[in-house]
Amino acid sequence: MLLWSSDFGNHLRADDPPGKDSKEPAETVTMPVDFIFLGNYLSADPEAACGDCPVDEEGQPTGPECWVRVINDGEGTEINMGKFTHHFAFCADWINGTYPSPKEGSPDTEGYFVTPNGDRLYVMSAGTVHEGRLPEHPEYVNSWWRDPWTVSGGTGRFEGATGSGMTDDYNSDLDSYSHHHWKGTITLEKGKQ
């Protein structure tokens, strides 16, 4: 399906006929995306900039909140992008599962996918990680989250990209990875996809 971008101004040149906009809208294409990827938790440690994390003598969080800095890198595939790597860095509440932190001044929240040629697609999700599993999950799932994700641009073929969808993610007792399945749509300038 082709869409016309509505992001253009009303700037007229002297030789334009009245009512004619001098900038043609960029032709775009919207397509489904289906990201499947595994993440490695490189960090999930308390960080003062994320907020407070009171702990007891054994180092266990005592609540009511415990903000930690999560850094997660990994790789996966998407039918249109092929193989990609990802990087996420954000503050999360270890006790209540909320991510990213709403605290003003908390470290930058960043998330992106990178194709083999170096193009980046900037993405982020926000929501809550839930303990346990849903009935449709395998027995080894120990926590899960299904939250909205959005695209906020990119580089190379993803410059000016928009999009959104839902996550279907979980952590497992079988391994130390985060398991991700993001479905949705992305809109790109025609010819960049």
Q: What is the pLDDT of residue 190?
A: 79
Phi, psi of 31 (to 5 degrees): -140, 155
Examine residue 25 and say whether the peptide bond preceding it is cis (omega within 30 degrees of 0).
no
Q: Average pLDDT for residues 160-173, to the nearest whole number?
A: 97
Lowest mean pLDDT among 22-31, 58-67, 128-137, 178-187: 22-31
> Which of 70, 122, 132, 74 is CA-nearest to residue 101?
70
Q: Where are the domains of the chain?
A: 35-183
Name the burial class of residue 142, with classes exposed (0-12), middle (13-18) and buried (19+) by CB atoms within 10 angstroms of its CB: middle
